Amino acid sequence: MSDPGRPPTEFETRVYEATRCVPRGKVTTYGRLGKALGCGSSQAIGQALRRNPFAPEVPCHRVVAGDRTLGGFAGHREGEELRRKRRMLEEEGIRFDKQGRVLPECLHDFPPT
């Protein structure tokens, strides 16, 4: 969770700005977001989003794992927080296959850099 006494780092700010570009009804992956930022670490992206003090304005729930499963949410990888993430995405029109993966047509493409 975020430390309310610590302002976001420059890297975290860049992650939040890019995440704001993911429109309602679309998701991106930690890897795609990292690639758009020139960062090769999906884990670093996940850690920045875990600290997101600007939700829901920074829609971190719209970032999923590379295999299109939910990944994590609010510092959790299972349980009620993941169910909440799925509900939020479904309310925005995101659709899932029978294995619980986001359908490919719901993926957001960042402009080439």
Residues with a known catalytic role: 60
Question: Cis peptide before 56, with omega less than 30 degrees from 0?
Answer: yes
The whole-angstrom separation of Cα 99 and Cα 89 is: 16
Q: Please give the full DSSP string across 34-82, using - where no structure is assigned.
A: HHHHT---HHHHHHHHHT-TTTTTS-GGGEE-TTSS---BTTBSSSHHH
Radius of gyration in angstroms for the set of CA atoms belonging to the chain, rounded to a whole number:
13
